[in-house]
Structure 1
Amino acid sequence: MGTSPDPPASADQLAAELFGAMAYGELSAFGRLSFDSRYAPTLHDRSVLAKIAVGAYGNFALLSDRLSEMGIDPEEAMLPFQRSFDHFHERTKPGDWLESVMKAYVIDTVSSDFYRAVAGFLDAGTQQFVERVASPDQATEVLRVLLRRALADDPRLASRLALWGRRLVGEALTQAQRVGMEHPRVGPTLKNGGDARAAVRKLTGELAERHARRMTELGLTA
């Protein structure tokens, strides 16, 4: 006799996988931003990045608490994402302070777009919670201001930061595709009765378009 197919994942299971990915992303951001803040050119800039790191930890705490309320061990929910997220950050180590700021901005905005898009396939309560945690906020605007200030002070930075931004978004979109296709609950969520690969390609195309608009607003070429 053949094995019977796995039963469809429940809404809570789908939400838990999404929250696990988000939680590890926020925990990673906290560690990365805390480290990068040491290389800020001024104490003001250092304090700005440190504050953003604290915000990332706050988001991690919200997600961790939500998972615990669902009866799920936050560590177990995050573990499936640890290797791929860590590998992503190993491949995208910034070379200096401005590259750190650009990386924080690109990852913050692209991941926010991705998580909110995935949550759109889930229940209203999950959507509202993800909107609360993942929506662009004051931290995103602060990073944008830092980049604009640097570009205004030295327009020659534009070509280097544009090139770095293209590399970052390429890696980020590859990461989004991997999360969408490799994880057993997020992938079926995106599939939504259709072809999962096509759905993920469509989503990453939309993410790329949004990124391109943000880069244009900064005066950079995506």
Structure 2
Amino acid sequence: MVNWFWRRRPPARVLRLRARGDLGDARRVDFAELAPDVSTFLGQAAYLQLGYFETLGRLVRATPGLGEKEAISLAAGRALAKHRRLVDLIRDRVGDPTDAMEPFREQLDEFRGKTIGARPRETMLAVLITAGMLDDFYLALSSSYGEVGRRVERILGESSDREQIEEILRDTISSDEEWRDLLSMWARRLVGDTLLVARSALVPERLATDEKRIEPVFTALMAAHSRRMDELGLNS
């Protein structure tokens, strides 16, 4: 039973969401005409990893238990390592990493702000959902960039060390029906915003005419997301 949040044992407990202020065939979709230029691709991918690191770092501070802090810091360290490798790739193939990332800073910071939950458990789940879906998407997109894309695939395809966070959430979900319901609603709220971020990475002028071409990718993203939710014990 989760007990870190309720200290005075209130007679009634109601959890509410705060008000909002493997891809298979998808990797074989031809993104050549939809994919952005390599600087945009790398800049977005690198800044997303930095965002995961920042969110996880915030979680470390907000989480009281030492064991949970260690689990979160492990995932944070891996996100930062991936960010640094992508920055090195930008410097090697494009130029200044800051110039590559800056155009997406405002949009992605706004998105990340929407993923910060009222409670640490919500933010943990948000990282698993958003990072899982967007890493899958950028892995699919990487096939459009030759050797650069293969290097990105190797970076993003490595372990993200989020398994211990998954275990924390599974324990919470399996022991508390109210938490399970709350986190299921939170997960559904996050999916739409995450898909919008993925779509915004593509060349907008081609989206309307090539909708059928990209549909399998988003279908596969949702299927992979559903599997992750099932593994956590949540309704997708």
TM-score range, shorter chain: 0.7 to 0.9
Contact 2:57–2:76 (CA<8 Å) still a contact in 1? Answer: yes
Whether 1:205 aligns to 2:205 is no
TM-score by length of 1: 0.82
Contact 1:19–1:67 (CA<8 Å) still a contact in 2? Answer: yes
The secondary structure found in structure 2 opposite 1:221 is coil
CA deviations on 1:47-79 (whole Å, 9 max, x unpaired) are: 221221121111111011111111411011111
Sort the Cα spacing of 1:87 and 1:26 in 2 relative to 1 into closer, same or farther, 3 A.
same
Whether 1:83 aligns to 2:106 is yes
Contact 1:37–1:50 (CA<8 Å) still a contact in 2? Answer: yes
What residue is the counterpart of 1:148 in the other structure? 170
Out of 22, 34, 38, the residue aligned to residue 61 of structure 2 is 38
Out of 59, 68, 74, the residue aligned to residue 82 of structure 2 is 59
Sort the Cα spacing of 1:56 and 1:138 in 2 relative to 1 into closer, same or farther, 3 A.
closer
The secondary structure found in structure 2 opposite 1:120 is helix
Contact 2:180–2:234 (CA<8 Å) still a contact in 1? Answer: yes
- Higher RCO, 1 or 2 (CA under 8 Å, sep at least 6)? 2
What residue is the counterpart of 2:52 in the other structure? 29
Contact 2:49–2:82 (CA<8 Å) still a contact in 1? Answer: yes
d(CA) in 1 for partners of 2:97 and 2:160?
A: 26
d(CA) in 2 for partners of 1:138 and 1:92?
A: 18
Structure 1 residue 164, shift from structure 2 partner: 0.5
Matched AA of 1:105: L
> Which structure carries more helix by proportion?
1
Structure 1 residue 204, shift from structure 2 partner: 2.2
Whether 1:161 aligns to 2:175 is no
TM-score by length of 2: 0.77
Gaps of 5+ in 2: 1-31
> After alignment, is 139-148 or 69-78 more displaced?
139-148
CA deviations on 1:70-114 (whole Å, 9 max, x unpaired) are: 141101111121121011122232110110110111122111111
Out of 124, 135, 138, the residue aligned to residue 157 of structure 2 is 135
Q: Runs of 4 or more off by more than 3 Å in structure 1?
A: 194-202
Contact 1:181–1:197 (CA<8 Å) still a contact in 2? Answer: no
The secondary structure found in structure 1 opposite 2:103 is helix
d(CA) in 2 for partners of 1:202 and 1:52?
A: 30
What residue is the counterpart of 1:214 in the other structure? 228
d(CA) in 2 for partners of 1:97 and 1:215?
A: 18
Question: Superposition RMSD on alpha carbons, in Å?
Answer: 2.4
What residue is the counterpart of 1:107 in the other structure? 130
Gaps of 5+ in 1: 1-8
Out of 50, 73, 84, the residue aligned to residue 73 of structure 2 is 50
d(CA) in 2 for partners of 1:84 and 1:65?
A: 23
Identity %: 26
CA deviations on 1:137-170 (whole Å, 9 max, x unpaired) are: 2513222222112222323311111111111111
Q: Aligned pairs, how many? A: 203
